[in-house]
Amino acid sequence: MKQAVVLLSGGLDSATVLASARADGFACYCLSVDYGQRHRVELDRAREQVALQHAAEHRVVTIDLRTIGGSALTADLPVPKDSADAGIPVTYVPARNTVLLALCLGYAEVVGAFDLFIGANAVDYSGYPDCRPDFLAAFESLANLATKAGVEGAGRFRVHAPLVHLTKAEIIQLGTSLGVDYSRTVSCYDPDTAGRACGHCDSCTIRRKGFAAAGVPDATRYQESR
Amino acid sequence: MKQAVVLLSGGLDSATVLASARADGFACYCLSVDYGQRHRVELDRAREQVALQHAAEHRVVTIDLRTIGGSALTADLPVPKDSADAGIPVTYVPARNTVLLALCLGYAEVVGAFDLFIGANAVDYSGYPDCRPDFLAAFESLANLATKAGVEGAGRFRVHAPLVHLTKAEIIQLGTSLGVDYSRTVSCYDPDTAGRACGHCDSCTIRRKGFAAAGVPDATRYQESR
């Protein structure tokens, strides 16, 4: 069985990617990262997805990105609610996906995998630069220069982003067809201590509209009934 | 004053790079990474270099790469001594410089710097793929696609590796001319608890030969007198 490393946040997108990689026939080695994010409850959801989807392995790497800060997710800045601002929002975490993919790459070398899966999406997203196809292609090139496995020619690293060109509704339809239990995922940037979504941040807004457009019931637990 | 982020391990090379960046007129924001390395005493040396060289700021990011392992520096594997093996050695840490440069990139965005300095060297080195010029060029390209600061055109990220084509002797001569105190650096992969070098690992061997070739007295503290 081919091996893949799946970057698993515990959100809707990465849960769908895990299901997609499994449907492609990969044994999935999942990596989650505890980077000091405000919405750390997503790590519990990641563990649930690992169990529900029978992943081969799960590792959680701890890194304190609060030391660097610069984002509403890793510093003491408010998460915008019901925002219509254009541009890259304050929830952008500097160089986050570069850090996360680098960790996936290291993990892949250790387990002998060459396929990296990430739930990046450049349609219904928050405008983060490190979710776009040209970033992902550049990382793939880098991966093959950066590693012992790459330069020794044991294989060629590939970055798979199966959701990158899908709308949120299409992602939800894909995951639903693959049996993903979205009630065991969290997208909210600012959940309460019980893990319930705020319903108003960028990520909640995109998620809610996605379920409505997909015609799939939204089982997300919100902080107030909507 | 222009700002630069300097990746500062506390070793000979990065101490020289810090001096070089300062000589180029940069205010230096130093980043050290506690990644669970066996030779963690280097972090103390990094703090000393920050003070000795009057860096503008120093941050230490903690990340547990032992969760990923796969190296004699981050897993329970012996460090080779007096080795003549060809190829990339077991001290290679999977994707390390990709992770470290990604953290520098995030830090640079937060402080508004576009210049990243790294002590990579591809002459007297251990053969690590992520020290070579083509890796560094690929990271520079990635950096400009990965970040808010890069895509919004506020500046262009540059990766500086002023030592990349120098021999170890030339590095030591450069640092000596810039006043670097090499007695307050550590290169050893397997120092004792007092921070004294083993004298026999790959890194010690390269360092010792470098001082001899440079004609500079070697003030390194070894575990036994040699």
Residue B146: its chain A contacts at CB < 8 A? Answer: 95, 97-98, 129-130, 135, 138
pLDDT, position A226: 47
| B10 belongs to a structural domain | yes
Interface contact A94-B106, CB threshold 8 A:
yes
Q: How far apart are CA A98 and CA B103, in angstroms?
A: 9
Percent of chain B with pLDDT over 90: 81
Residue B225, pLDDT > 70, answer: no
| A222 belongs to a structural domain | no
Asked if A96 and B109 touch (Cβ cutoff 8 Å), the reply is: no
CA nearest B135 in A: which residue?
Answer: A145
| B222 belongs to a structural domain | no
pTM score, whole prediction: 0.94
Closest Cβ opposite residue B70 in set A94, A98, A110: A110
Q: How far apart are CA B82 and CA B80, in angstroms?
A: 7
CA distance B145 to chain A (A): 5
Q: How confident is the model over B168-181, as pLDDT tens digits? A: 999 999 999 999 99
CA nearest A131 in B: which residue?
Answer: B146
Interface contact B147-A95, CB threshold 8 A:
yes
Residue B64: its chain A contacts at CB < 8 A? Answer: 61-63
CA nearest A102 in B: which residue?
Answer: B99
Tell me the pLDDT of chain B averaged across its residues: 94
Residue B132: its chain A contacts at CB < 8 A? Answer: 145
DSSP letters for chain B: -EEEEEE--SSHHHHHHHHHHHHTTEEEEEEEEE---TTTTHHHHHHHHHHHTT-SEEEEEEB-GGGT--STTTSS-PPPBS----SS-TTPPTTHHHHHHHHHHHHHHHHT--EEE----SSSS---GGGSHHHHHHHHHHHHHH-HHHHTTS---EEE-TTTT--HHHHHHHHHHTT--GGG----SS--TT--B-S-BHHHHHHHHHHHHHT----PPBSS--
Tally of domains in chain B: 1
Q: How confident is the model over B4-21, as pLDDT tens digits? A: 999 999 999 999 999 999
pLDDT, position B153: 86
CA distance B172 to chain A (A): 26
What's the sign of the alpha-carbon dihedral A14, A18, A23, A29?
positive
Q: Mean per-residue pLDDT for A190-212?
A: 93
Instruction: Note the Cα A48 to chain centre separation in Å.
Output: 15
Domain interval for residue B87: 2-214
**Alpha-carbon separation of residue B57 from A28, A63, A177 (angstroms):** 41, 20, 51
**Strands across the sheet containing A158-160:** A57-62, A26-34, A2-7, A115-117, A158-160
Q: How confident is the model over B68-97, as pLDDT tens digits? A: 999 998 988 888 988 877 788 899 999 999
Q: Mean per-residue pLDDT for B199-206?
A: 93
CB contacts < 8 Å between A and B, how many?
148
CATH label of the domain that carries residue A164: 3.40.50.620
Interface contact A146-B134, CB threshold 8 A:
no
Question: Which of A105-109, B90-94, B124-128, B164-168 has the least mean pLDDT?
Answer: B124-128
Q: How confident is the model over B133-192, as pLDDT tens digits? A: 999 999 999 999 999 999 998 899 999 999 999 999 999 999 999 999 999 999 999 999
CA distance A157 to chain B (A): 12
Residue A225, pLDDT > 70, answer: no
**Alpha-carbon separation of residue A192 from A41, A126, A204, B17 (angstroms):** 9, 21, 13, 45
| A94 belongs to a structural domain | yes
| B224 belongs to a structural domain | no
Closest Cβ opposite residue A129 in set B92, B94, B145: B145
Question: Which of A106-110, A149-153, B21-25, B111-115 has the least mean pLDDT?
Answer: A149-153
| B24 backbone dihedrals φ, ψ, rounded to 5° | -80, 0
Residue B142: its chain A contacts at CB < 8 A? Answer: 98, 135, 138-139, 142
Instruction: Say which amino acid occupies A104.
Output: C
Task: For residue A160, give both structure tokens.
Answer: 């798979």
Percent of chain A with pLDDT over 70: 99
CA nearest A105 in B: which residue?
Answer: B95
| A219 belongs to a structural domain | no
| B180 belongs to a structural domain | yes
Q: How far apart are CA B44 and CA B53, in angstroms?
A: 14
CA distance B103 to chain A (A): 7
CA distance B24 to chain A (A): 25
| B225 belongs to a structural domain | no
Interface contact A106-B93, CB threshold 8 A:
yes
CA distance B187 to chain A (A): 22
